[in-house]
Chains A and B, each alone.
Chain A
Amino acid sequence: MTEDLLSLIKENVIQGRIAQDDEGFDEGLVGQPGASELTEKALTEGVNLEDIINKGLTEGMNIVGQKFETGEYYIPDMLASAETVGAAMEILEPHLAQSGIKSKGKILVATVKGDLHDIGKNIVSILLRGAGYTVKDLGNDIAPQTIVEAVREERPQFLGMSALLTSTMIHMNNTIEALTESGLRDKVKIIIGGAAVSEEFAQSIGANGYGADGFQAVKIMDALRNSMKG
Protein backbone atom coordinates (compact mmCIF):
# COMPACT_ATOMS: atom_id res chain seq x y z
CA MET A 1 0.00 0.00 0.00
CA THR A 2 2.78 2.42 1.01
CA GLU A 3 4.78 1.41 -2.02
CA ASP A 4 1.76 2.13 -4.24
CA LEU A 5 1.39 5.59 -2.72
CA LEU A 6 5.08 6.37 -3.17
CA SER A 7 4.93 5.13 -6.72
CA LEU A 8 1.96 7.43 -7.42
CA ILE A 9 3.84 10.41 -5.94
CA LYS A 10 6.79 9.56 -8.16
CA GLU A 11 4.53 9.26 -11.22
CA ASN A 12 2.93 12.65 -10.50
CA VAL A 13 6.34 14.29 -10.18
CA ILE A 14 7.21 12.83 -13.59
CA GLN A 15 3.90 14.11 -14.96
CA GLY A 16 4.38 17.51 -13.29
CA ARG A 17 0.97 17.37 -11.60
CA ILE A 18 0.58 19.27 -8.33
CA ALA A 19 -3.16 18.95 -7.79
CA GLN A 20 -6.01 16.87 -9.15
CA ASP A 21 -7.18 19.67 -11.46
CA ASP A 22 -3.83 19.69 -13.26
CA GLU A 23 -3.19 18.19 -16.64
CA GLY A 24 -0.03 16.12 -16.81
CA PHE A 25 2.63 15.70 -19.44
CA ASP A 26 0.34 12.99 -20.79
CA GLU A 27 -3.28 13.89 -21.31
CA GLY A 28 -6.30 12.40 -19.55
CA LEU A 29 -5.09 12.62 -15.95
CA VAL A 30 -7.33 15.47 -14.78
CA GLY A 31 -9.40 14.43 -11.78
CA GLN A 32 -6.87 11.95 -10.41
CA PRO A 33 -5.06 13.00 -7.22
CA GLY A 34 -1.91 15.05 -7.78
CA ALA A 35 1.35 15.12 -5.81
CA SER A 36 -0.06 17.50 -3.15
CA GLU A 37 -3.07 15.34 -2.34
CA LEU A 38 -0.94 12.20 -2.39
CA THR A 39 1.69 13.75 -0.11
CA GLU A 40 -1.02 14.78 2.36
CA LYS A 41 -2.41 11.27 2.21
CA ALA A 42 1.02 9.75 2.79
CA LEU A 43 1.47 11.95 5.87
CA THR A 44 -1.95 10.97 7.19
CA GLU A 45 -1.11 7.31 6.73
CA GLY A 46 2.17 7.76 8.57
CA VAL A 47 4.46 6.99 5.65
CA ASN A 48 8.10 7.63 6.52
CA LEU A 49 9.08 11.19 5.52
CA GLU A 50 12.42 10.14 4.11
CA ASP A 51 10.67 7.55 1.94
CA ILE A 52 8.30 10.22 0.58
CA ILE A 53 11.27 12.38 -0.34
CA ASN A 54 13.63 9.69 -1.58
CA LYS A 55 11.33 7.12 -3.18
CA GLY A 56 8.64 9.56 -4.31
CA LEU A 57 10.02 13.02 -5.07
CA THR A 58 13.72 12.37 -5.70
CA GLU A 59 13.22 9.19 -7.74
CA GLY A 60 10.59 11.00 -9.79
CA MET A 61 12.90 13.93 -10.39
CA ASN A 62 15.75 11.59 -11.35
CA ILE A 63 13.57 10.18 -14.12
CA VAL A 64 12.61 13.71 -15.18
CA GLY A 65 16.36 14.46 -15.37
CA GLN A 66 16.88 11.46 -17.66
CA LYS A 67 13.96 12.53 -19.87
CA PHE A 68 15.39 16.07 -20.03
CA GLU A 69 18.83 14.75 -20.98
CA THR A 70 17.46 12.55 -23.76
CA GLY A 71 15.33 15.37 -25.17
CA GLU A 72 11.97 13.83 -24.35
CA TYR A 73 11.27 16.64 -21.89
CA TYR A 74 11.78 20.34 -22.58
CA ILE A 75 12.34 23.19 -20.14
CA PRO A 76 8.64 23.82 -19.34
CA ASP A 77 8.07 20.10 -18.71
CA MET A 78 11.04 20.01 -16.34
CA LEU A 79 9.83 23.19 -14.63
CA ALA A 80 6.38 21.64 -14.09
CA SER A 81 8.04 18.70 -12.32
CA ALA A 82 10.30 20.98 -10.27
CA GLU A 83 7.23 23.00 -9.31
CA THR A 84 5.52 19.77 -8.21
CA VAL A 85 8.45 18.84 -6.00
CA GLY A 86 8.42 22.38 -4.58
CA ALA A 87 4.72 22.10 -3.71
CA ALA A 88 5.20 18.70 -2.04
CA MET A 89 8.23 19.95 -0.09
CA GLU A 90 6.17 22.88 1.22
CA ILE A 91 3.75 20.35 2.70
CA LEU A 92 6.58 18.25 4.13
CA GLU A 93 8.85 20.96 5.51
CA PRO A 94 6.98 21.64 8.81
CA HIS A 95 6.97 17.89 9.50
CA LEU A 96 10.66 17.56 8.63
CA ALA A 97 11.55 20.11 11.30
CA GLN A 98 9.60 18.13 13.90
CA SER A 99 10.83 14.69 12.87
CA GLY A 100 14.50 15.44 13.44
CA ILE A 101 15.47 14.39 9.92
CA LYS A 102 18.73 16.13 9.21
CA SER A 103 19.25 18.34 6.19
CA LYS A 104 22.03 17.26 3.83
CA GLY A 105 23.53 20.71 4.33
CA LYS A 106 22.87 24.37 3.87
CA ILE A 107 23.49 26.21 0.61
CA LEU A 108 23.27 29.91 -0.10
CA VAL A 109 22.33 30.66 -3.70
CA ALA A 110 22.62 33.98 -5.53
CA THR A 111 22.67 35.45 -9.00
CA VAL A 112 25.77 37.63 -9.03
CA LYS A 113 26.06 41.39 -9.13
CA GLY A 114 24.77 43.07 -12.27
CA ASP A 115 22.80 40.01 -13.38
CA LEU A 116 19.02 40.10 -13.11
CA HIS A 117 18.30 36.60 -14.44
CA ASP A 118 17.02 34.18 -11.86
CA ILE A 119 14.96 31.43 -13.50
CA GLY A 120 17.93 29.03 -13.55
CA LYS A 121 18.80 29.77 -9.95
CA ASN A 122 15.19 29.19 -8.91
CA ILE A 123 15.11 25.80 -10.64
CA VAL A 124 18.33 24.73 -8.94
CA SER A 125 16.92 25.87 -5.58
CA ILE A 126 13.83 23.70 -5.95
CA LEU A 127 15.82 20.67 -7.07
CA LEU A 128 18.22 21.06 -4.14
CA ARG A 129 15.33 21.37 -1.67
CA GLY A 130 13.81 18.25 -3.17
CA ALA A 131 17.15 16.49 -2.77
CA GLY A 132 17.25 17.28 0.95
CA TYR A 133 19.33 20.44 1.16
CA THR A 134 18.39 23.58 3.07
CA VAL A 135 18.43 26.43 0.59
CA LYS A 136 18.66 30.13 1.38
CA ASP A 137 18.07 32.24 -1.72
CA LEU A 138 19.79 35.63 -1.55
CA GLY A 139 18.14 36.80 -4.80
CA ASN A 140 19.68 38.36 -7.89
CA ASP A 141 22.10 41.24 -8.50
CA ILE A 142 23.98 40.32 -5.29
CA ALA A 143 27.29 42.07 -4.65
CA PRO A 144 30.36 40.08 -3.54
CA GLN A 145 30.45 41.76 -0.14
CA THR A 146 26.78 40.93 0.49
CA ILE A 147 27.53 37.27 -0.24
CA VAL A 148 30.56 37.40 2.08
CA GLU A 149 28.41 38.80 4.89
CA ALA A 150 25.73 36.16 4.27
CA VAL A 151 28.33 33.37 4.40
CA ARG A 152 29.68 34.81 7.65
CA GLU A 153 26.21 34.98 9.23
CA GLU A 154 24.56 31.86 7.84
CA ARG A 155 27.61 29.56 7.97
CA PRO A 156 26.49 27.40 5.02
CA GLN A 157 28.48 24.40 3.83
CA PHE A 158 27.86 25.39 0.21
CA LEU A 159 27.53 28.50 -1.92
CA GLY A 160 25.91 28.45 -5.36
CA MET A 161 26.40 31.35 -7.77
CA SER A 162 24.67 31.89 -11.09
CA ALA A 163 25.48 34.19 -14.03
CA LEU A 164 23.80 34.32 -17.40
CA LEU A 165 25.94 37.08 -18.85
CA THR A 166 29.59 37.06 -19.85
CA SER A 167 29.77 40.61 -18.52
CA THR A 168 28.76 39.55 -15.01
CA MET A 169 30.56 36.23 -14.58
CA ILE A 170 33.63 38.17 -13.45
CA HIS A 171 31.75 38.88 -10.21
CA MET A 172 31.96 35.17 -9.38
CA ASN A 173 35.71 35.57 -9.35
CA ASN A 174 35.40 38.78 -7.33
CA THR A 175 33.19 37.00 -4.80
CA ILE A 176 35.63 34.13 -4.38
CA GLU A 177 38.47 36.63 -3.90
CA ALA A 178 36.40 38.55 -1.34
CA LEU A 179 35.71 35.29 0.54
CA THR A 180 39.42 34.50 0.50
CA GLU A 181 40.32 37.95 1.82
CA SER A 182 37.73 37.53 4.58
CA GLY A 183 39.19 34.17 5.59
CA LEU A 184 35.94 32.37 4.71
CA ARG A 185 36.91 30.61 1.48
CA ASP A 186 37.85 27.37 3.23
CA LYS A 187 34.57 27.29 5.12
CA VAL A 188 32.37 26.85 2.09
CA LYS A 189 32.32 24.72 -1.07
CA ILE A 190 31.43 26.79 -4.12
CA ILE A 191 29.47 25.60 -7.13
CA ILE A 192 28.68 27.80 -10.11
CA GLY A 193 26.28 27.63 -13.06
CA GLY A 194 24.52 29.67 -15.71
CA ALA A 195 24.73 30.14 -19.46
CA ALA A 196 27.85 32.28 -19.32
CA VAL A 197 30.10 29.88 -17.42
CA SER A 198 31.76 26.53 -18.02
CA GLU A 199 33.75 23.81 -16.30
CA GLU A 200 36.96 25.52 -17.44
CA PHE A 201 35.84 28.85 -16.02
CA ALA A 202 34.91 27.19 -12.72
CA GLN A 203 38.40 25.73 -12.48
CA SER A 204 40.05 29.00 -13.47
CA ILE A 205 38.41 30.93 -10.61
CA GLY A 206 38.89 28.18 -8.05
CA ALA A 207 35.26 27.09 -7.67
CA ASN A 208 34.69 23.54 -6.40
CA GLY A 209 32.20 22.56 -9.07
CA TYR A 210 30.19 23.52 -12.15
CA GLY A 211 26.64 22.43 -12.87
CA ALA A 212 25.52 22.66 -16.49
CA ASP A 213 21.92 22.30 -15.34
CA GLY A 214 19.93 21.81 -12.15
CA PHE A 215 20.22 18.03 -12.20
CA GLN A 216 24.00 18.17 -12.53
CA ALA A 217 24.11 20.73 -9.73
CA VAL A 218 22.44 18.22 -7.38
CA LYS A 219 24.86 15.46 -8.43
CA ILE A 220 27.87 17.70 -7.86
CA MET A 221 26.56 18.84 -4.50
CA ASP A 222 26.13 15.20 -3.44
CA ALA A 223 29.65 14.40 -4.62
CA LEU A 224 31.11 17.40 -2.75
CA ARG A 225 29.19 16.39 0.34
CA ASN A 226 30.56 12.86 0.18
CA SER A 227 34.10 14.17 -0.27
CA MET A 228 33.66 16.35 2.82
CA LYS A 229 32.61 13.34 4.86
CA GLY A 230 35.67 11.44 3.73
Chain B
Amino acid sequence: MLITSTDIDAEIDKRQICNYLGYCAECEPPARISSLIDEYVENVHHLIDPVHSYIIKDIERVENSYVFLEGSIVLKSRVIARLLERCCQAAVMVATIGNQLEEMACQLAEDGLMVQSAVLDTIGSDAVERVADFVQGRIGEVASAQGLCVSPRFSPGYCDWNITQQKKVFQAIGRNTAGVSLTEDCLMVPRKSISGIIGIGRCHDSIEHYNPCKTCRKHDCQSRRVA
Protein backbone atom coordinates (compact mmCIF):
# COMPACT_ATOMS: atom_id res chain seq x y z
CA MET B 1 0.00 0.00 0.00
CA LEU B 2 1.26 3.45 -0.93
CA ILE B 3 0.45 6.14 1.62
CA THR B 4 -0.11 9.33 -0.27
CA SER B 5 -1.14 12.88 0.48
CA THR B 6 -0.21 16.14 -1.12
CA ASP B 7 3.46 15.52 -0.54
CA ILE B 8 3.93 12.10 1.05
CA ASP B 9 4.69 8.82 -0.65
CA ALA B 10 5.44 5.94 1.71
CA GLU B 11 5.00 2.22 1.22
CA ILE B 12 3.54 -0.07 3.88
CA ASP B 13 5.85 -3.01 4.47
CA LYS B 14 4.08 -6.34 5.00
CA ARG B 15 7.19 -8.00 6.46
CA GLN B 16 7.44 -5.22 9.05
CA ILE B 17 3.79 -5.73 9.98
CA CYS B 18 4.46 -9.46 10.50
CA ASN B 19 7.41 -8.51 12.73
CA TYR B 20 5.26 -6.12 14.78
CA LEU B 21 2.73 -8.93 15.22
CA GLY B 22 5.50 -11.05 16.71
CA TYR B 23 6.42 -13.28 13.78
CA CYS B 24 10.18 -13.70 13.55
CA ALA B 25 12.09 -12.83 10.37
CA GLU B 26 11.99 -16.40 9.08
CA CYS B 27 8.41 -17.13 10.21
CA GLU B 28 5.51 -16.89 7.83
CA PRO B 29 2.12 -16.29 9.45
CA PRO B 30 -0.60 -18.87 8.81
CA ALA B 31 -2.49 -18.40 5.54
CA ARG B 32 -5.51 -16.76 7.20
CA ILE B 33 -3.41 -14.11 8.97
CA SER B 34 -1.35 -13.52 5.85
CA SER B 35 -4.45 -13.05 3.69
CA LEU B 36 -5.99 -10.75 6.33
CA ILE B 37 -2.90 -8.54 6.27
CA ASP B 38 -2.99 -8.49 2.45
CA GLU B 39 -6.68 -7.62 2.44
CA TYR B 40 -6.27 -4.73 4.88
CA VAL B 41 -3.11 -3.42 3.24
CA GLU B 42 -5.04 -3.24 -0.03
CA ASN B 43 -8.22 -1.74 1.40
CA VAL B 44 -7.50 0.69 4.21
CA HIS B 45 -6.05 3.63 2.26
CA HIS B 46 -9.12 5.67 3.01
CA LEU B 47 -8.52 5.30 6.77
CA ILE B 48 -5.03 6.81 6.56
CA ASP B 49 -4.72 10.56 6.36
CA PRO B 50 -1.01 11.37 6.61
CA VAL B 51 -0.26 14.84 7.89
CA HIS B 52 2.96 16.23 9.28
CA SER B 53 4.59 19.37 10.54
CA TYR B 54 8.14 20.27 11.43
CA ILE B 55 10.14 23.30 12.39
CA ILE B 56 13.89 23.84 12.48
CA LYS B 57 15.25 25.67 15.52
CA ASP B 58 18.73 26.99 16.23
CA ILE B 59 20.40 25.46 19.26
CA GLU B 60 21.48 28.33 21.51
CA ARG B 61 23.44 26.28 24.04
CA VAL B 62 23.64 22.96 25.86
CA GLU B 63 24.36 22.74 29.58
CA ASN B 64 24.60 19.33 31.22
CA SER B 65 21.19 17.72 30.55
CA TYR B 66 19.54 20.92 29.31
CA VAL B 67 19.22 22.05 25.70
CA PHE B 68 18.26 25.67 25.02
CA LEU B 69 16.56 26.15 21.64
CA GLU B 70 15.65 29.48 20.08
CA GLY B 71 12.29 30.76 21.27
CA SER B 72 12.99 30.05 24.97
CA ILE B 73 12.41 26.32 24.62
CA VAL B 74 14.32 24.21 27.11
CA LEU B 75 14.57 20.44 26.70
CA LYS B 76 15.75 18.21 29.51
CA SER B 77 17.43 14.90 28.70
CA ARG B 78 21.01 13.74 29.04
CA VAL B 79 20.69 11.56 25.94
CA ILE B 80 19.26 14.39 23.80
CA ALA B 81 21.78 16.88 25.22
CA ARG B 82 24.72 14.62 24.27
CA LEU B 83 23.40 14.56 20.70
CA LEU B 84 22.51 18.21 20.33
CA GLU B 85 25.79 19.50 21.81
CA ARG B 86 27.31 18.24 18.53
CA CYS B 87 24.65 19.94 16.37
CA CYS B 88 23.86 23.49 15.32
CA GLN B 89 20.14 23.03 14.72
CA ALA B 90 17.30 20.75 15.80
CA ALA B 91 14.29 19.77 13.70
CA VAL B 92 11.21 19.22 15.85
CA MET B 93 8.52 17.19 14.11
CA VAL B 94 5.12 15.60 14.44
CA ALA B 95 3.52 13.10 12.04
CA THR B 96 0.15 11.40 12.15
CA ILE B 97 -2.21 9.25 10.10
CA GLY B 98 -5.31 10.75 11.73
CA ASN B 99 -7.91 8.97 13.82
CA GLN B 100 -10.04 7.01 11.33
CA LEU B 101 -7.98 3.83 11.38
CA GLU B 102 -7.82 3.89 15.17
CA GLU B 103 -11.60 4.31 15.41
CA MET B 104 -12.14 1.35 13.10
CA ALA B 105 -9.69 -0.80 15.12
CA CYS B 106 -11.54 0.11 18.35
CA GLN B 107 -14.88 -0.74 16.75
CA LEU B 108 -13.59 -4.13 15.62
CA ALA B 109 -12.34 -4.85 19.16
CA GLU B 110 -15.71 -3.84 20.61
CA ASP B 111 -17.34 -6.25 18.16
CA GLY B 112 -15.09 -9.01 19.47
CA LEU B 113 -13.03 -9.17 16.24
CA MET B 114 -9.70 -9.05 18.00
CA VAL B 115 -7.50 -10.47 15.26
CA GLN B 116 -8.81 -7.97 12.75
CA SER B 117 -8.46 -5.19 15.31
CA ALA B 118 -4.86 -6.13 16.12
CA VAL B 119 -3.86 -6.44 12.46
CA LEU B 120 -5.45 -3.09 11.59
CA ASP B 121 -3.86 -1.42 14.61
CA THR B 122 -0.48 -2.82 13.58
CA ILE B 123 -0.88 -1.54 10.02
CA GLY B 124 -1.60 1.87 11.55
CA SER B 125 1.59 1.65 13.63
CA ASP B 126 3.63 0.86 10.55
CA ALA B 127 1.90 3.55 8.50
CA VAL B 128 2.70 6.30 10.99
CA GLU B 129 6.32 5.10 11.17
CA ARG B 130 6.51 5.36 7.38
CA VAL B 131 5.08 8.90 7.50
CA ALA B 132 7.60 9.87 10.20
CA ASP B 133 10.40 8.30 8.11
CA PHE B 134 9.22 10.37 5.16
CA VAL B 135 9.34 13.57 7.23
CA GLN B 136 12.78 12.60 8.47
CA GLY B 137 13.89 12.18 4.86
CA ARG B 138 12.48 15.58 3.98
CA ILE B 139 14.40 17.17 6.89
CA GLY B 140 17.51 15.33 5.67
CA GLU B 141 17.08 16.94 2.23
CA VAL B 142 16.79 20.40 3.79
CA ALA B 143 19.95 19.77 5.83
CA SER B 144 21.79 18.36 2.84
CA ALA B 145 21.05 21.50 0.83
CA GLN B 146 23.05 23.38 3.49
CA GLY B 147 25.85 20.82 3.40
CA LEU B 148 24.74 19.38 6.74
CA CYS B 149 23.64 15.93 7.96
CA VAL B 150 20.90 14.68 10.29
CA SER B 151 20.81 12.35 13.26
CA PRO B 152 18.32 9.51 13.85
CA ARG B 153 14.94 10.48 15.33
CA PHE B 154 14.30 10.59 19.09
CA SER B 155 10.94 10.87 20.81
CA PRO B 156 9.84 11.84 24.34
CA GLY B 157 9.05 8.78 26.42
CA TYR B 158 12.19 6.89 25.38
CA CYS B 159 15.60 6.68 27.09
CA ASP B 160 15.78 9.38 29.77
CA TRP B 161 13.61 11.82 27.82
CA ASN B 162 10.50 12.01 29.96
CA ILE B 163 7.09 11.80 28.30
CA THR B 164 6.14 15.12 29.93
CA GLN B 165 8.68 16.75 27.58
CA GLN B 166 6.04 16.33 24.86
CA LYS B 167 4.85 19.73 26.02
CA LYS B 168 8.20 21.23 25.03
CA VAL B 169 8.10 19.50 21.65
CA PHE B 170 4.65 20.90 20.96
CA GLN B 171 5.70 24.31 22.28
CA ALA B 172 8.50 24.27 19.70
CA ILE B 173 6.21 23.13 16.88
CA GLY B 174 3.84 25.99 17.62
CA ARG B 175 0.42 26.34 16.04
CA ASN B 176 0.77 23.86 13.19
CA THR B 177 0.55 20.59 15.09
CA ALA B 178 -0.81 18.59 12.13
CA GLY B 179 -4.06 18.18 14.06
CA VAL B 180 -2.31 16.36 16.91
CA SER B 181 -3.04 17.36 20.50
CA LEU B 182 -1.79 16.22 23.89
CA THR B 183 -3.80 14.68 26.69
CA GLU B 184 -3.28 15.74 30.29
CA ASP B 185 -0.78 12.85 30.56
CA CYS B 186 1.09 13.97 27.43
CA LEU B 187 -0.14 11.19 25.14
CA MET B 188 -0.84 12.23 21.57
CA VAL B 189 -4.31 12.22 20.06
CA PRO B 190 -4.76 10.73 17.46
CA ARG B 191 -2.86 7.83 19.00
CA LYS B 192 -1.21 6.90 15.71
CA SER B 193 1.11 9.90 15.83
CA ILE B 194 4.85 10.30 16.26
CA SER B 195 6.63 13.33 17.60
CA GLY B 196 10.35 13.80 17.91
CA ILE B 197 13.54 15.66 17.42
CA ILE B 198 16.32 15.28 14.87
CA GLY B 199 19.75 16.86 15.26
CA ILE B 200 21.26 18.77 12.34
CA GLY B 201 24.98 19.43 12.13
CA ARG B 202 28.20 18.92 10.25
CA CYS B 203 28.35 15.48 8.66
CA HIS B 204 30.03 13.22 11.17
CA ASP B 205 29.48 9.68 12.31
CA SER B 206 28.75 10.85 15.86
CA ILE B 207 25.65 12.68 14.58
CA GLU B 208 24.47 10.50 11.70
CA HIS B 209 24.78 7.28 13.70
CA TYR B 210 24.31 8.62 17.21
CA ASN B 211 23.16 5.66 19.25
CA PRO B 212 22.84 6.03 23.03
CA CYS B 213 21.89 2.34 23.26
CA LYS B 214 25.53 1.36 22.71
CA THR B 215 26.44 2.45 26.21
CA CYS B 216 23.08 1.79 27.87
CA ARG B 217 22.86 -1.02 30.41
CA LYS B 218 19.14 -1.70 29.88
CA HIS B 219 19.80 -4.69 27.66
CA ASP B 220 16.19 -5.89 27.89
CA CYS B 221 14.81 -2.57 26.59
CA GLN B 222 12.22 -3.27 23.89
CA SER B 223 13.19 -0.07 22.09
CA ARG B 224 16.90 -0.85 21.99
CA ARG B 225 18.45 0.24 18.70
CA VAL B 226 20.73 -2.33 17.13
CA ALA B 227 24.23 -0.88 17.05
A-to-B contact residues, CB < 8 Å = 16, 22-27, 74-77, 79-80, 82-83, 86-87, 90, 113-116, 118-119, 122-123, 126, 141, 165-168, 195
Is B117's CB within 8 Å of the partner chain A?
Answer: yes
A-B contact pairs, 24 of them (CB 8 A): A16-B115, A26-B30, A27-B30, A27-B31, A74-B23, A74-B29, A75-B118, A76-B22, A76-B119, A77-B33, A79-B114, A79-B118, A80-B115, A114-B185, A119-B109, A119-B114, A119-B121, A123-B114, A165-B163, A165-B187, A167-B157, A167-B162, A167-B164, A195-B222
Given contacts A75-B22, A166-B157, could you give 17 more A-B pairs where the C-beta distance is less than 8 Å? Answer: A74-B21, A74-B23, A75-B118, A76-B21, A76-B115, A79-B118, A80-B115, A82-B114, A83-B114, A87-B112, A118-B109, A119-B109, A119-B117, A122-B114, A123-B114, A166-B163, A167-B185
CB distance from B21 to the nearest CB of A (A): 5
| Dominant secondary structure of chain A at its interface with chain B | loop
Contacts of B164 in A (CB 8 A): 167
- Give the interface size class of chain B: 20 to 34
Is B191's CB within 8 Å of the partner chain A?
Answer: yes
Closest-by-CB residue of A relative to B188 is: A116
In the assembled complex, the Cα of A219 lies from the Cα of B131 at a distance in Å of 41
In the assembled complex, the Cα of A229 lies from the Cα of B186 at a distance in Å of 43
Is B27's CB within 8 Å of the partner chain A?
Answer: yes
CB distance from B104 to the nearest CB of A (A): 14
Is B113's CB within 8 Å of the partner chain A?
Answer: yes
Is B32's CB within 8 Å of the partner chain A?
Answer: yes
Contacts of A16 in B (CB 8 A): 115
Closest-by-CB residue of A relative to B23 is: A74
Is B184's CB within 8 Å of the partner chain A?
Answer: yes
Report whether B163 and A23 are in contact in the complex, using a CB–CB cutoff of 8 Å. Answer: no
CB distance from B193 to the nearest CB of A (A): 12
CB distance from A15 to the nearest CB of B (A): 10
CB distance from B99 to the nearest CB of A (A): 11
Is B6's CB within 8 Å of the partner chain A?
Answer: no
Pairs A-B, 8 closest by C-beta atoms = A114-B185, A23-B32, A167-B163, A74-B22, A79-B114, A75-B22, A79-B115, A76-B33
Given contacts A76-B119, A83-B115, A165-B163, contact A113 B185 (CB under 8 A): yes
Contacts of B32 in A (CB 8 A): 22-25, 80
Chain B 209-225 against A: per-residue CB contact (8 Å), 1 yes, 0 no?
Answer: 00000000000001000
CB distance from A55 to the nearest CB of B (A): 23
In the assembled complex, the Cα of A152 lies from the Cα of B170 at a distance in Å of 39
Report whether B183 and A76 are in contact in the complex, using a CB–CB cutoff of 8 Å. Answer: no
Contacts of A115 in B (CB 8 A): 185, 187
Closest-by-CB residue of A relative to B31 is: A27
In the assembled complex, the Cα of A119 lies from the Cα of B191 at a distance in Å of 14
Report whether B29 and A76 are in contact in the complex, using a CB–CB cutoff of 8 Å. Answer: yes
Contacts of A195 in B (CB 8 A): 222
Report whether A116 and B222 are in contact in the complex, using a CB–CB cutoff of 8 Å. Answer: no
Report whether B27 and A74 are in contact in the complex, using a CB–CB cutoff of 8 Å. Answer: yes
Contacts of A119 in B (CB 8 A): 109, 114, 117-118, 121
Given contacts A119-B109, A167-B163, contact A77 B30 (CB under 8 A): yes
CB distance from A38 to the nearest CB of B (A): 18
Report whether B118 and A165 are in contact in the complex, using a CB–CB cutoff of 8 Å. Answer: no
Query: Which listed residue (A82, A126, A167) contacts B186, Cβ 8 A?
Result: A167
In the assembled complex, the Cα of A165 lies from the Cα of B162 at a distance in Å of 11
In the assembled complex, the Cα of A191 lies from the Cα of B30 at a distance in Å of 33
Contacts of B119 in A (CB 8 A): 76
CB distance from A49 to the nearest CB of B (A): 20
Contacts of B30 in A (CB 8 A): 23, 25-27, 77
Contacts of B21 in A (CB 8 A): 74-76
Closest-by-CB residue of A relative to B162 is: A167
CB distance from A190 to the nearest CB of B (A): 21
Contacts of A123 in B (CB 8 A): 114
CB distance from B33 to the nearest CB of A (A): 5
